[in-house]
Structure 1
Amino acid sequence: MPNIDWGQLKTAEQIADDERRARVPAEISRAQGRAILGLRDLTAGVEAYFASITDKEEAMWADLAWNHTSTWRRFDSPFLQGAARALSLSEEDLDEMFIAAAQIVI
């Protein structure tokens, strides 16, 4: 009888999330990210999101992410999550944009 590690078992939802993450680039360059936003006509929305940030520290982090990082991380970036919420982008929208952005050669 096989030895089963019950702690390693995953739900169907967890398996689907793992499969989705495997298809989506974990990061893209800032230039690729800004390019896909421009191609999707979303740049003004991101800039409006920045203008709406009133917390000084949050505004600093957003500025660093927008203007000074070399890469944007898909799955753990507070900047990306905040901007996505402001633009009403779903997780699927973000995945698709990262996949498309990764194909952009600058």
Structure 2
Amino acid sequence: MPNIDWDQLKTAEQIAEEERRARVPAQISRAQGRAILGLRGLTPGVEAYIAQITDQEEAMWADLAWNHTSSWNRYGSPFLTKAATALGLTESALDEMFIAGEQITI
């Protein structure tokens, strides 16, 4: 009888999450990200979100992410998370945008 490591078992939700993350690029270039936002008509919404930030430190991080980074990370980016929430984007919409953005050649 095989030895079963019960700590390694995963729920259907965990498996689905891992499969979803495997399909989505973890990173795209800032140019690709801005291009896909522009193609989807979302650039004005992002700019409006950034303009309304009143906390100086948060505004600095948003400016760096929007204007000065070389790449955008799909997971773990506070700016991306906050901007997506402000735009009303779902996790699946963000995933789809990263997938589409990765296909853009500039």
Asked if Structure 1 and Structure 2 have the same fold, meaning a TM-score greater than 0.5 normalized by the shorter chain, the answer is yes
Provide the aligned length of Structure 1 versus Structure 2: 106
1:73 correspondence with 2:73: yes
What 5-or-longer segments of structure 2 have no aligned partner? none
TM-score computed with the length of structure 2 as normaliser? 0.97
1:18 partner amino acid: E
| Structure 1: distance between partners of 2:81 and 2:5 | 34
Aligned to 2:92: 92
What 5-or-longer segments of structure 1 have no aligned partner? none
Q: String of CA shifts for 1:29-70, please: whole Å, max 9, x gaps.
A: 000000000000000000000011111111111111011110
Give percent identity, aligned residues only: 78
Query: What secondary structure is seen at the aligned counterpart in 2 of 1:28?
Result: strand
TM-score computed with the length of structure 1 as normaliser? 0.97
> Structure 1 stretches (4+) deviating beyond 4 angstroms?
none
Q: String of CA shifts for 1:82-101, please: whole Å, max 9, x gaps.
A: 11000000000000000000
